[in-house]
Amino acid sequence: MIFLVFLVSAFILFWFVARPLTVAFHEFGHAIPALILTKQRVSIYIGSYGNPKNSYYFKIARLEVWFRFNLFKQQLGLCTSSINSDNTFKKFITLICGPCASLIIATISSYFVFYFDMHGFLKLIVLIFLLSAILDLFLNLIPNSTPIILHNGKKTYNDGQQLKLLFRKTD
């Protein structure tokens, strides 16, 4: 019975805390290099594939953030920028930094929480966050040819498929 309560608690933490954090850090991981490498506006959507309706909005200089809390679709996220598709290096850096950002932040957070022997509940949260970031890394870097349909009807692909298409284009 205690194990079942633990599993349910872990799932709830995963769903309501770790996944939104992972998605947010992932999208900011795409956005920050895009802001550095271009002079263009960058938009990120957390909780949707580009739907600003019913979203909280804030803007910091050239970065626009749309956050939509959706209980059942929290793993959705999108980063849009105007990186020239001919610039393979900039595109590669922007694509790879998304999945790596959440993993790096989760790893550093885990290190500090365990190094300073913080409260057990905090250890559980960062451990679940780390597992979520590892899952995110693999799910996003393994190419998936199934298109993601955006809010405006356009199609895109996961980061791994976009990297595959980027390298295929440069051959």
Asked if the structure places residue 9 within a domain, the reply is yes
Helices (H), the chain: 2-13, 19-37, 88-115, 120-141, 159-170
- Residue 158 predicted with pLDDT over 90: yes
Asked if the structure places residue 55 within a domain, the reply is no
- Residue 125 predicted with pLDDT over 80: yes
Asked if the structure places residue 77 within a domain, the reply is no
Asked if the structure places residue 31 within a domain, the reply is yes
Asked if the structure places residue 60 within a domain, the reply is no
- Please state whether beta strands 63-67 and 155-156 pair in parallel, antiparallel, or not at all (unpaired): unpaired
User: H or E stretch including 156?
Assistant: strand 155-156
Edge to edge, the sheet with strand 56-60 lists 56-60, 63-67, 42-46, 77-80
What pTM, to 2 d.p., does this model score? 0.88
- Residue 112 predicted with pLDDT over 70: yes
Asked if the structure places residue 99 within a domain, the reply is yes
pLDDT tens digits, 52-63: 988 999 999 999
Mean of all residue pLDDT scores within the chain: 89
Output the pLDDT for position 114: 95
Q: How many whole angstroms separate alpha carbon 136 and alpha carbon 49?
A: 16
- Residue 11 predicted with pLDDT over 90: no
Output the pLDDT for position 3: 79
Q: Determine the structural domain holding residue 122 and report its residue range.
A: 2-40+82-170
Asked if the structure places residue 103 within a domain, the reply is yes
Domains in the chain, number = 1
Give the mean pLDDT of 131-157.
Answer: 94
Give φ, ψ of 128 to 5 degrees. Answer: -65, -40
Total number of residues shown for the chain: 171
- Residue 74 predicted with pLDDT over 70: no
Asked if the structure places residue 120 within a domain, the reply is yes
